[in-house]
């Protein structure tokens, strides 16, 4: 029976292939930790943020935990580090948050994804 075998081909051949391809397509770019740290350093982010240690700003671990279930985290934080919003410091004073020195969108996203992976 020709039609039956073509359904079987579809079920066991084409559909798994589509699933496999979509899984590959959904795989995010790997994070380049070295580039992220270099950019954080050259933009003096690490002066106020430790990976584990609280400085003037919260540690990147604390930030990552806070945004763990937020699907908009990347976009929210990219905006945070590019638009200089007013932030409150522990002593109560407010100032514009530092923006990144490098404006390359891929480098910025890479840094934010690295922060969120801490």
- In the complex, the residues that contact ligand HEC under the rule CB under 6 A are 40, 43-45, 47-49, 56-58, 63, 77, 80-81, 87-89, 97-98, 100, 111, 115
What is the Cα–Cα distance from 113 to 67, expressed in whole angstroms? 11
Which of residues 56 and 75 has its CB atom nearest to ligand HEC in the complex? 56
- Asked if residues 34 and 116 have their Cβ atoms less than 8 Å apart, the reply is no
Nearer to ligand HEC, 81 or 110 (CB): 81
Question: In the complex, what is the shortest distance from the CB of residue 9 to ligand HEC, in angstroms, rounded to a whole number?
Answer: 50
For residue 117, give the nearest of 65, 76, 46 by alpha carbon.
65
CB of 79 to ligand HEC, least distance (A): 9
Q: Pick the closer one to ligand HEC by CB: 3 or 72.
A: 72
* Contact by Cβ (8 Å): 13, 5: no
Alpha-carbon distance of 52 to 60, in angstroms, equals 7
Report whether 97 contacts 85 (CB < 8 A). Answer: yes
Residue 76 Cβ vs ligand HEC, minimum distance, rounded to whole Å: 6
Query: Closest distance between ligand HEC and the C-beta of residue 105, in Å?
Result: 14
Collect all residues with Cβ–Cβ distance below 8 Å to 66 and sequence separation of at least 6: 58
Nearer to ligand HEC, 12 or 89 (CB): 89
């Amino acid at each position: 029976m020709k039609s039956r075998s073509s359904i079987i081909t579809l079920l066991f051949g084409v559909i798994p292939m589509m699933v496999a391809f979509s899984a590959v397509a959904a795989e995010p770019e790997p994070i380049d930790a070295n580039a992220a740290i270099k950019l954080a350093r050259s933009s003096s982010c690490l002066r106020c943020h430790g990976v584990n240690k609280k400085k003037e700003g919260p540690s990147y671990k604390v930030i990552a935990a806070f945004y763990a279930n937020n699907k908009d985290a990347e976009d929210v934080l990219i905006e945070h580090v590019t638009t200089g919003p007013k932030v409150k410091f522990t002593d109560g004073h407010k100032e514009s948050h530092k923006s990144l020195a490098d404006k390359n969108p891929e480098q910025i996203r890479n840094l934010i994804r690295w922060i969120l992976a801490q």
